[in-house]
A and B are shown apart, each in its own frame.
Chain A
Amino acid sequence: MTATDTMPEAADRRSWAEWLDGHSGRIMVLPAVIVLLCFAIFPLIISGYLALSRFALASGGFTLKFIGLLNFRKLLVGSQQYHLLGKFGTFGFVQSALLALIAAGVLFLLARYFWRGRPTIVGTVGRLLATAMAMGLAVLALATMAPGGVPGTVVNTLLYVFVGVSVQFALGLGLALLCGQPIRGRNFFRVLFFIPLMVTPVGIAYTFRMLADMQKGPFAPLVRAFGISEWSWATEAWSARLMVLVGDTWQWTPFMFIVLLAAIENQPRDQVEAARLDGANGFQIFRDITWPAIAPIAATVVLIRLIEAFKIIDLPNVLTGGGPGLATESMTLHSFISWRTQDLGGSAAIGYMLLFISTIVCVSFFNFVVRPARRFEA
């Protein structure tokens, strides 16, 4: 290019700049769309194709054979059923009662939607899907946790998601409320409590393995005093699951805490003081002022955590290796193990089922909890 400042060149350059300005919106969004197409949509379609085919190593490469829904059949009713869904126990009175309770709750919410307002097609389909998913997961969880049953990776994942997130939310809210009191050193606690979030989950897993070592860990004298040093948490299903939950809670409570504390600090101060003057007690202030002020934020942090919790793999993989048996194996870990054993189709199929469950749960949570919480504020 031997460009000089001749007239046509300048005009050319201006028109180029004009074109750029006229299309600036698209140009700004385009990089994001391209990145997501390459790393989300495109892989998703390929994975979908993989989930419907059988992968086999052949001389000098591999072959892919289209087999329809066979991978899913194998997982849901075939040889992998025990791994994914678990073994069903006998449905006793307690299980039936709990299931009836859940069903009643879900159906009540569904019925209320039809009583009130005008049901739309999208709204109805969404609610029916959410209801079906909730009922299906409830039946699965109750059946496999009943006597004689063994939970599979789906129920393990649900356990990490729902129990883990609830405990983290409760602890985070409690700590934020304590820290929101007029105390000294709030910033000290804030900085300190934030630290676990920054530790890599793999590191947390090893750290908790060290801590929970019955012979050499820091709590060994305590364990010896109770006379249970021969016992190991890693050999029993529920104690192993508990360890994974403890590690996860240690890491993610700070996230809830930090955001909720910021929300509490942001609540209307004058209202709180007026309520105090009128003699309201702590609980009343929380119920009538603090909670409405922080509800939308609380709903959003829970949503963010829900989304991330479904992907759990590092902790169970390092802490317990998914064992004992498959007691702590999450769906992502299950998929990873299938991949390692060259069952690529099965691996993709599990991934797709996880995607399906987490999408419906997260989108339902967004529509039925986060949105109403925000409207509540406005």
Chain B
Amino acid sequence: MSAEPRSLARRLFEPASIDSQAPVARIVTYALLFLWALVVVIPLYWVLITSFKGPGEVDNGPFYLPFVDFAPSLQAWDFMLVQNYTLRPYMNSVVVAVASTLLAVLIGSLAAYALVRIRFQVKLAAVAIFLILLTAIIVAVATFGVRWEIAIAMAAALFIIALFTLVGRSQLAVGNNDIEFWIISNRIMPPIVAVLPIYVMFQQMRLLDTQVALIATYTAINLPIVVWLTRDFFAGIPLDLEESAQIDGASKFRVFFTIALPLVRSGLVATFLLVLILAWNEYLLALFLSNVDAQTMPVLVSAQNTTRGPQWWNMSVLITVMIAPVIVISSILQKHIARGLLVGAVKG
């Protein structure tokens, strides 16, 4: 502390200590943060109070405060939740999101762990022949009307023959990095490119409009993200822990489930939440793959735009019940998210 008194300007614009801000800077900081807080809150607030309005309150100009300038009613809530049986799409959403997220995290972290810990060598020739045969099957079935069982059997036979003859001679191989890059790059693919064949595929399997179809598809589209994030968590684990377990005779699977997975808990929570949110909010694929039985919440929300115009109050109820659980879960686990994503982003 210096003896001379600081002038007013200096006191306003200079921090008192190294860990604090100058008064003016602090005011500006808080003002801007509260401004953005308003930007975040106003839309949410408006949705919440609209859910307590009826057609009259919405159509006769804006009303802002329940009990003050309009009388809130539970009509829309009653209509959506009790009369209209929103529970089924809601349960669909819960089942599909949770199941697909669990599957994606399990499959993805297994693959990520293996790609970090075990060296792979896949002959490029084998990959190329596989893709050529796959294309050939599709062309044969689609253009020449070959039965698909026959086409697949033929292709499988050819592939095995090729594995033992051509592939052995080639030297070019793809390694772990290439496999990883391929898995992650699948996320770049816009879902609209893949959705039509997936639709036809499930139609053939008579699985359209079932939860199974949605779970399988969501697992696939979120798998790349899981691999992307979890591979860095696994890469960060010290090797000796796993090695000592392996010397004791534990299998790779046991090491994975009992040692590696628990060590990356925090990252797994972040990955789980992120994927859960993505699956919970997914719209395009649900629009194609579900109709009545497996309808999920985003599709139901968009369906409120009826011929009588958008039913704002009903829609607001749906949006509110959709957001509420995710906000609660995320607020609790929020610290994990930031930390988990950080690790993924640093090395990913």
Contacts and interface: CB of A to CB of B under 8 A. Distances in A.
B342 interface: yes
B259 interface: no
Given A258-B341, A358-B188, A49 B138 contact: yes
B183 interface: yes
Q: Which of A189, A262, A352 has the most CB of B within 10 A?
A: A262
Interface in A270-323: 273, 276-277, 296-297, 300-301, 304, 307, 310-311, 313-314, 317-318
B18 interface: yes
Contacts of A335: 192
Interface in A243-288: 250, 258-259, 261-263, 266, 273, 276-277
A38 interface: yes
Interface in B93-126: 107-108, 110-111, 113-115, 117-118, 120
A236 interface: no
Contact of A202 (B216, B223, B283): B283
B33 interface: yes
Contacts of B175: none
A197 B253 CA distance: 35
A263 B297 contact: no
A270 B30 CA distance: 25
Contacts, number: 300
Interface in A342-372: 344, 347-348, 350-352, 354-355, 358-359, 362-363
Given A24-B252, A39-B216, A307-B188, A182 B346 contact: no
A287 to B, nearest CB: 18
Contact of B330 (A36, A198, A203): A198
Given A64-B142, A198-B323, A258-B337, A25 B252 contact: yes
B36 A313 contact: no
A21 interface: yes
A208 interface: yes
A301 B348 CA distance: 10
Contact of A314 (B32, B189, B284): B284
Contact of B312 (A17, A41, A210): A210
A49 B139 CA distance: 8
Contacts of B30: 183
B159 interface: no
Interface string B289-317: 00000000110011011000010100110
Contacts of B330: 191, 194-195, 198
Contact of A192 (B20, B37, B319, B348): B37
Contact of A49 (B142, B284, B310): B142
B327 A39 contact: no
Interface of B: 18-21, 25-26, 29-30, 32-33, 36-37, 39-44, 46-47, 50, 58-59, 61-62, 64, 107-108, 110-111, 113-115, 117-118, 120, 131, 134-135, 138-139, 142-143, 179, 183, 185-198, 200-201, 216-217, 219-221, 223-224, 227, 251-253, 256, 277, 280-281, 283-284, 297-298, 301-302, 304-305, 310, 312, 315-316, 318-319, 322-323, 326-327, 330-331, 334, 337-339, 341-342, 344-346, 348
A200 B189 contact: no
Contacts of B337: 194, 258
Contacts of A64: 142-143
Interface in A45-70: 45-47, 49-50, 64, 66
A39 B342 contact: no
Interface size class of A (residues with CB under 8 A): 35 or more
A179 B21 contact: no
A193 B58 CA distance: 28
Given A189-B33, A218-B46, A348-B193, A206 B310 contact: yes
B310 A209 contact: yes
A79 B118 CA distance: 53
A183 B26 CA distance: 8
B39 A250 contact: yes
Contacts of B64: 218
Contact of B62 (A206, A220, A259): A220
Interface of A: 17, 20-21, 24-25, 28-29, 31-33, 35-36, 38-47, 49-50, 64, 66, 174-175, 178-179, 181-183, 187, 189-204, 206-211, 215-218, 220-221, 250, 258-259, 261-263, 266, 273, 276-277, 296-297, 300-301, 304, 307, 310-311, 313-314, 317-318, 331-332, 335-336, 339, 344, 347-348, 350-352, 354-355, 358-359, 362-363
Contacts of B323: 195, 198-200, 203
Contacts of B42: 211, 218
Given A24-B252, A24-B253, A207-B44, 15 more contacts: A36-B183, A40-B186, A40-B194, A43-B196, A66-B143, A175-B33, A183-B30, A191-B334, A218-B64, A258-B337, A297-B346, A313-B284, A350-B192, A352-B193, A363-B185
Contact of A311 (B191, B224, B277, B301): B191
B62 A218 contact: yes
Contact of A179 (B33, B120, B319): B33
Contacts of A216: 58-59, 61-62
B70 to A, nearest CB: 12
A200 B322 contact: yes
A363 B184 CA distance: 11
A38 B298 CA distance: 25
A300 B225 CA distance: 13
A104 B284 CA distance: 40
B79 to A, nearest CB: 17
A344 B220 CA distance: 23
B284 A25 contact: no
A31 B112 CA distance: 11
Given A198-B330, A348-B193, A32 B26 contact: no
Nearest to B226: A32
B32 A178 contact: yes
Given A216-B62, A258-B337, A35 B115 contact: no
A194 B25 CA distance: 24
A191 B336 CA distance: 12
Given A49-B142, A66-B143, A354-B193, A182 B20 contact: yes
Contact of A354 (B192, B198, B224, B344): B192
Contact of B29 (A29, A66, A181): A181
Nearest to B218: A39
A310 B302 CA distance: 21
A29 B114 contact: yes
Contact of B197 (A42, A317, A363): A42
